[in-house]
Amino acid sequence: MINELGEIGTSGGVLLKMWEVIVPSGSRPLVRHSHIRFEITLITAGSGIYTVGDKKYAIKPYEIFVFASNEQHCVTEVGKDGLKMINLHFEPRYLWGRSFDRLSNVNTNFCFQHSPNFENCIPADRARQIRGLFTSAAEELSKKEPEYALKIKSLLNMIIVALIRDFGYFDSTLPESKDKNRIIRKATEYIDTHFQENLTLESLARLSSLTPNYFSSLFRKVSGIKLWDYINSRRIEAAMQLLKNESNLNIIEIASKCGFNNTANFNKAFKKTVGITPGEYRLNDNIII
């Protein structure tokens, strides 16, 4: 069962979303899904197993789980009392305001990769601060009092600082080039609003006044993700919404609306990202947790 807590968005789409999930006990299929959105999860009750890549984490109440964009993860086992959690997803561009650029050393690839030593699970006894900030954000999103969006962004920034300082999530002291970051942020913003179109490496490189090879290399270096993985992830996330909410559209129509030129490419990209086929997802979207 899924209970939506709320979302923050603009004309360009949803930037942040939170929801409560209740999962019944039992074994669950391993669906190695990933998404562009950065994810933070609070376990409020129950137990189970989280499979993250090749690792398995025992799930316990009051723990915090953190997943970078495109990091594959899945709940594969739920204990006899079930599992209850609150998920927070936010877009990388949610952090990319001008004031944030000037005041922080966190660069573009923060959301896409973390230190190899970072553990996705933060134990309950070490998660008190982040848990408090997280529950405050959920309360703000539910109540929607004046300037709640500003308050939530402040709380999220405090969570990010805690992840960096206390848990070694990311080395914010690494040197960065603001010019290179600006080029890639501009490119991702363009992709976010034009992914339905016939994008090519040449056209995207041209927008940045770079050669195709250099642009492709720079995109991966700065963002931590391959250019076409980013484009396809954007397209697949849009397709997931259409599969869930637009039952009048068939698979071919959805593929076309999301920028795929044929269903074979769509099915291949969808299964690579989500772990199941578009048809399977349409029948049971709750399988993805």
Domain at 277, CATH number: 1.10.10.60
Question: Residue 286 pLDDT more than 80?
Answer: no
What is the Cα–Cα distance from 117 to 111, expressed in whole angstroms? 16
For residue 16, the model assigns a pLDDT of 94
Q: What is the pLDDT of residues 189-233, one digit of tens each?
A: 899 999 999 999 999 999 999 999 999 999 988 887 899 999 998
For residue 256, the model assigns a pLDDT of 96
Mean pLDDT of 232-247: 91
Long-range contacts of the stretch 284-287 (C-beta < 8 A, 24+): 285/240, 285/243, 285/244, 286/2, 287/28, 287/29, 287/31
Domain boundary residue, one of 167, 199, 219: 167
For residue 121, the model assigns a pLDDT of 98
Looking at the fold, whether 73 and 24 belong to one and the same domain comes out as yes
Going by pLDDT thresholds of 50, 70 and 90, the confidence category of residue 285 is low
**Lowest mean pLDDT across 56-65, 102-111, 207-216, 247-256:** 102-111
Looking at the fold, whether 149 and 280 belong to one and the same domain comes out as no
Which residues 6+ apart lie within 8 Å of 116 measured at CB? Answer: none
> In which element (H, E) is residue 208 found?
none
- When comparing pLDDT for 105 and 275, which is higher? 275
Mean pLDDT of 119-147: 97
> In which element (H, E) is residue 54 found?
none
In a domain, 173, yes or no: no
Mean pLDDT of 15-22: 94
Domain boundary residue, one of 148, 167, 186: 167
Looking at the fold, whether 121 and 220 belong to one and the same domain comes out as no
Looking at the fold, whether 119 and 233 belong to one and the same domain comes out as no
Average pLDDT, the chain: 89
Question: Residue 147 pLDDT more than 80?
Answer: yes
Q: 3-class SS at 14?
A: strand
Going by pLDDT thresholds of 50, 70 and 90, the confidence category of residue 174 is low
Q: What is the pLDDT of residues 39-84, one digit of tens each?
A: 999 999 999 999 998 899 999 999 999 999 888 899 999 999 999 9
Q: How many CA atoms lie within 13 A of 232 on its CB side?
A: 18
In a domain, 172, yes or no: no
Domain that holds residue 50: 2-167
CB 73 within 8 A of CB 51: yes
Domain boundary residue, one of 111, 139, 167: 167
What is the Cα–Cα distance from 258 to 194, expressed in whole angstroms? 10
Tokens of 160: 């990010």
Looking at the fold, whether 156 and 127 belong to one and the same domain comes out as yes
The predicted model scores a pTM of: 0.83
**Lowest mean pLDDT across 23-27, 146-150, 273-277:** 273-277
Looking at the fold, whether 9 and 151 belong to one and the same domain comes out as yes
**Residue 47 dihedral angles phi and psi, to the nearest 5°:** -155, 170
Domain total of the chain: 2
Question: Residue 99 pLDDT more than 50?
Answer: no
What CATH number should be reported for the domain holding residue 16? 2.60.120.280
**Lowest mean pLDDT across 89-103, 127-141, 150-164, 188-202:** 89-103
Mean pLDDT of 114-136: 96
For residue 235, the model assigns a pLDDT of 94
**DSSP 8-state secondary structure symbol assigned to residue 17:** E
